Structure 1
């Protein structure tokens, strides 16, 4: 079954937010702003293989779990609360399984924002509108961006720690004004991840009888 991008909002908001990173060249930005964006792009390009934990909050609803990333093309978000919810990209398709509803859906990776972040070479210089770059004395910074083609569909704020640079949270505001905040409670390089992490068959498909 195929599904629109919107159906993946819950469960894949994390990497979709990262994929919505802003363009590195915006004429309205100052030289300091552009330097911050270049710093963010360099960091994300270097994040080839990683794992960690996250907490996702929407209003009073709290969700948490673990994630794994392996570029190009692969990622896994495994929720422990709600237990069993999975979002997996195998390099070709992004798949989402909700065991509570026994629903499995998938969409081609190339049709999702995830394809930008999970590409072999991260390109963040097309199709995004920067609305704000905030820099702190500590070296931390935040970037607010919208889709240049669909500016009314929401925005994302990416927050980075400084010295050293590390992505530590993002907040997505959708077209209805709903805000989802995702905090990375841990993030570390993870070379040699098992291929099985990025495989997900349709659990709802019953085996054929002979």
Structure 2
């Protein structure tokens, strides 16, 4: 299904572009995650039950034993304007003070990384990568440390130089966060595009993908000033548990 742009201003004439493919969201936890490709390929496929057999069984059951009809899951109403789309995402981002969950990251070179993300507003965030990756990214509310335990390095940046500062704002307003480039809807996924000129090295392009049905942020995509793209998909999100404060401590005096 082609994305339908929600226009804030009359669009400038542009050359026709092919429709973007629908975003594929990560499963809650794939059964073969981390299993070698050969092992996953050799696993027996699960065959669905015959639809005709299921229908016959249902028909023969007494009426009292028939399961009650399950109402269809109500879908979120699609925003009608770009302003409404931005407000929908703002409302979600401002609805929680803490968040933790799993992420799957794809770098520009195709490398896949996994781990846990922890957020505590304002300003605190941690990306904890699963082995064999030895990198940690920690924000303590003022600075961001990128630490590599294997190489014994630690680089410190101002939080304002990072493209993901929007995740840890105390109060979020996407219309004021960088330059708003537009919004579109593809199926149940709302995409909001931003440009941030304050990031280290130049302008970063950021796309946020929000599930209108689940009412959750599903993915962000960052294209850095050098043109390299990194995407991060989120799942198993929890906004009720408070992360351990130790997750957000940067040891500035530590010699790695």
TM, length-normalised to structure 1: 0.73
Select which of 123, 126, 132 maps to 1:73. 123
Indicate if the aligned counterparts of 1:55 and 1:184 stay in contact, CA closer than 8 A. Answer: yes
How many residue pairs get matched? 179
Structure 1: 5+ residue stretches without partners: 1-25
| Structure 1 residue 203 displacement after superposition | 8.3
2:93 maps to 44
Structure 2: gaps (5+ residues): 1-7, 12-78
1:53 matched to 2:109? The reply is no
- SS of aligned partner of 1:41: helix
Q: How large is the Cα RMSD of the aligned pairs?
A: 2.7
Match of 1:180 in 2: 230
- What corresponds to 1:169 in structure 2? 219
- Report the counterpart of residue 141 of structure 1 in structure 2: 190
Tell me the distance in 2 between the aligned counterparts of 1:88 and 1:79.
Answer: 11
- Aligned partners of 1:78 and 1:84 also within 8 Å: no
Q: Which of these residues, 152, 162, 165, is aligned with residue 102 of structure 1?
A: 152
Residue 101 of structure 1: SS of its match in structure 2? coil
Larger Rg: 2
**Cα pair distance change 1:99/1:68, threshold 3 Å:** same
Query: What does residue 22 of structure 1 align with?
Result: none
**CA distance 1:82–1:132, change in 2 (3 Å):** farther
Give how far 1:127 is off: 5.2
> How far 1:175 moved relative to its partner?
2.9
Task: Tell me: CA distance 1:168–1:148, structure 2 relative to 1, closer, same or farther (3 Å).
Answer: same
